[in-house]
Amino acid sequence: MRARFTLPVLTACAALIITTVVVAAERPPLPADRDARFLGVDTCGSAECHGSQTPWRNATVLMRERLIWDAHDRHAKAFAALTSDAGQRIARNLGLADATQAPQCLTCHSTFVPAAQRGPKFRLDAGVGCESCHGPGGSFLRTHVQVTSKHATNLAAGMYPTTDPRARAALCLSCHQGDATRRISHRMYGAGHPRLRFELDTYGVIQPYHFNPDADYRRRKPTASHFALWAAGQLTAARALVAQIGDSAHSRAGLFPELAQYDCHACHQAIGEDPGYRPRPGLRAGAPTLIDAPLIVLRGLTAVVDPALTMRLRDETRALQLAVGDPAARTGAIAALTRTLDELADGLAARAEQAGDGAAVAHALNAMVAAETPLPFTAAEATAMSLSTLLLAEREAGRIDETRYARIDVAVDGVYDALGDEKTYRPTALAAAIAMLERELRQ
């Protein structure tokens, strides 16, 4: 995936690049897991509310959020994807009579809640709607429409805190990676489902913005920097990955392990076509390897937050890979990684964000690629997205001037060109492009 941005795209959200981060003491249940009334897009986005064709006088929000979502947001088309040719083919391959009636599909292609919790205007075919992210409208509608409404009172009434980086990461990754109740399986991949891929800040930036992060917005709500969102996304993804691998109920599919947890390209690769192929450092040639992209990319963060954790994270990740066939060793490796990730999370929460953190992580990621070649495609993809979003954030924060950024942007384009896709990816080409980017950053 080529997730590249232009400066005008991020200009609309430049105000988000500040260092204020509010961390919830305890993350609330995800919206779809709440036992509350869901009113539906047609209620939230009616012409009298968030579907207004004309601006409201003295309104603090756009009031046309539903129109933006409906016209430009791919979440609005999530249910329709189930009825597409590809969706029907995947359903047939899975033995499903109708994907639009299958819970395993609807959990992420719609706002899927029990029928008893659906209001009179609620429609499953509306796709991933307002309440999938913001929470059940029945909980906070009355508070939300009051003239005296405040963000804090809306949250207390049941609105989901998407402004909190950790809460947002848990919400988005629940479908874009999977969680305890929303799982991707190797059967789904075998049936033709696209491979899940995600980076919180990258995907957030390329979404159509249905809010205006101006001074009034920042007065009413906490905002998080791109660095904070990136870090929360990577850390949440890594912790979810380790938890899934350790969950025995979801780690096996009959006689086989749940192969969706493994790197596709460890097995699905052409044999003998790349004379430069060699196993990843510290791993055995030909051995199935777990998807560890967030664990690899997090070493860029540890280098900035707590350098002492960098080698520990590397060694513990390798230990987990080597323990795939040994349940006792795997349990120990998971426990060690969990402790390290908890320590990293504590260090990140205790540390004030500093100017230049994004550039420092970029340097660390570049050094990691040089030391770790060949990177698996999933880790290379995650690294490219991370470099792109972090360096653009540095530019938007004014720490890289326009002339210098133009040269850096060309180098980042080179990284994406070298990445290519699963079929064309060559680790040595990526390493060369990363080295060129590092030289540009050092000038």
For the record, the structure tokens of 85 come out as: 């040719």
pLDDT at residue number 344: 97
Q: What is the pLDDT of residue 324?
A: 82
DSSP class of residue 46? Answer: S
**Are 373 and 426 within 8 A, CB to CB?**
no
Query: Does the CA dihedral 131-245-96-181 come out positive or negative?
Result: negative
- Cα–Cα dist 369/371, whole Å: 5
Least confident of 77-91, 252-266, 287-301: 252-266
Residues 6+ apart with CB under 8 A from 300: 361, 362, 364, 365, 368, 386
- Where does the pLDDT of residue 250 fall: very low under 50, low under 70, confident under 90, or very high at 90 and above? low
Q: pLDDT tens-digit profile of 174-198?
A: 999 999 889 899 999 999 999 999 9
Mention every residue, 6+ apart, whose C-beta is less than 8 A from residue 69: 45, 75, 76, 129, 130, 208, 210
Calculate the average pLDDT of the chain: 89
C-alpha torsion sign, points 370, 375, 379, 380: positive
Report pLDDT for 273: 60
Q: What pLDDT, on a 0 to 100 scale, did the predictor assign at position 270?
A: 65
d(CA 88, CA 82) in angstroms, rounded, equals 6
How much is the pTM? Answer: 0.90
> Are 404 and 352 a contacting pair, CB within 8 Å?
no
Q: How confident is the model at residue 20 (pLDDT cuts 50, 70, 90)?
A: very low
Q: Per-residue pLDDT tens for 93-148?
A: 999 999 999 999 999 999 999 999 999 999 999 999 999 999 999 999 999 888 88
* Range with lowest mean pLDDT among 8-17, 25-34, 173-182: 8-17
* pLDDT above 60: residue 434: yes
Has residue 18 got a pLDDT over 60? no
Could you tell me the pLDDT band of residue 283, with boundaries at 50, 70 and 90? confident
The alpha-helical segments, DSSP class H, found in 145-199 are 151-157, 165-173, 186-191
Percentage of the residues of the chain whose pLDDT score is greater than 90: 71
The answer to whether the CB of 344 falls within 8 A of the CB of 235 is yes
Long-range contacts of 346-349 (CB under 8 A, 24+ apart): 347/305, 347/306, 347/309, 348/231, 348/235, 348/301, 348/305, 349/23
How would residue 19 be classed by pLDDT, with cut points 50, 70 and 90? very low
Task: Please state which of the ranges 218-227, 261-270, 410-419 shows the lowest mean pLDDT.
Answer: 261-270
Model pLDDT, residue 12: 37
